[in-house]
Structure 1
Amino acid sequence: MKLPPAATGFGLQPLNAPTDLRDFLTVCHRAAQRTGGAMTSTHPAGVTPNFHTVAIDYPGHSVAVLRHATLPLVAFTRPQLTSDTALAFVDEPPLAAAIHETSELEVLAVDQLHLPLARADLTALTSAELSQIAYWKPETVGDLLFNFWD
């Protein structure tokens, strides 16, 4: 997997951030409706984390939808405590299909997110990003893409 510049969230500013967040919330709302869920909370990206979060509740379980702040990438996790920085990535095929049908966002699967960073192509990353990787030492692509680095 080749990671594009801005994968870490460092070195490049989010493009059109307010519009992207608003669009992401609209996509999540539509996807939740299509799959029988309801959006229950949102948390915009900031200095940390480098991703927006939308919680969607379903009968019997909840899902957190993460949207990278600078790239059109989405992942799903189990909801976490606010102080917890360990993300438990999950696949949610119906929700992934609904997001794909209503947006240009790329939904990443668990196997992509769990790919060891040593097997990823980092050649397109900036020197600032490579410095951050050396400092934070993420182990997987998911750890790098969806992080709490400051």
Structure 2
Amino acid sequence: MKPPPGTTGFNPRSSHQADSARFTATCHHAARAIGATVTGVTPAGVTPNFHTIDITQAQHHIAVLRHTTLPFIAFARPHANGDVTITFVDHPDLAAAITNLTDVQVLTVNQLQTPLSQVDLSNLHPGEHDQIRYWKPTTAGELLFNFWD
């Protein structure tokens, strides 16, 4: 894995911002396609560096995370307000529904759990490397989806 500049959310040269309204609409359509509903929307702020859409399907709850500046999506167990622990999960049906609607890349648990020592960070700018040294993420997922401020 060789993440692009802006991966950490600390990229002053990145002018692209994910369209939260479009992401929300995509999740509504994808949820309906699998017989689920959107039950919550949390836009990114200063922290975290991702938007969150909560989806419920029967008794199952999943959080869809959308990186604010890169076309990456991950699925996670919903977390309580103030909890910064992310437990990534796979959801093949929802992944297929989302990729049918948009060109973002849905990352798998295997990709997100890649040890940071196996990730090529050469594309990141010096400020991002400073953040990595400070926050000490251990996996690609901790690098991509974070609560750093």
Aligning the two structures, in what range does the TM-score lie when normalised by the shorter sequence?
A: over 0.9
Residue 75 of structure 2 is matched in structure 1 by 76
Corresponding residue for 1:128? 127
TM-score, structure 2 normalization: 0.97
Q: Match of 1:22, as an amino acid?
A: A
What residue identity is the alignment partner of 1:32?
A
2:93 alignment counterpart: 94
In structure 2, the partner of 1:5 is: 5
2:55 aligned with 1:56, yes or no? yes
**How much has 1:16 moved relative to structure 2?**
4.5
1:144 is aligned to 2:143: yes
Normalised by the length of structure 1, the TM-score is 0.96
Give runs of ≥4 in structure 1 deviating > 4 Å: none
- Cα distance in 2 for partners of 1:66, 1:116 equals 20
8 A Cα contact 2:6 2:70, kept in partner: yes
**Alpha-carbon offset, residue 11 of structure 1:** 2.0
Q: Does structure 2 retain, via aligned residues, the 8 Å contact 1:14–1:69?
A: no
Query: Which range moves more in the overlay, 5-14 or 133-142?
Result: 5-14
SS of corresponding position for 2:55: strand
Contiguous gaps of at least 5 residues in structure 2:
none
**Cα distance in 2, alignment partners of residues 69 and 82 from structure 1:** 19
**Residues 88 and 14 of structure 1, relative CA distance in 2, 3 Å threshold:** farther
SS of 2:94's equivalent? helix
Partner of 1:111: 110
Q: What displacement does 1:73 show? A: 0.3
Q: Distance in 1 between matches of 2:17 and 2:64?
A: 20
Deviations 1:102-135 (A, max 9, x none): 0011000000000000000000001000000000
Residue ranges of structure 1 left out of the alignment (5+ in a row): none
User: Secondary structure of 2:103's partner?
Assistant: coil
C-alpha RMSD of the superposition: 0.9
Deviation track 1:130-150 (CA, whole Å, cap 9, x = no partner) reads: 000000000000000000000
| Aligned-residue identity in percent | 51
Partners of 1:81 and 1:32 in 2: CA distance:
21
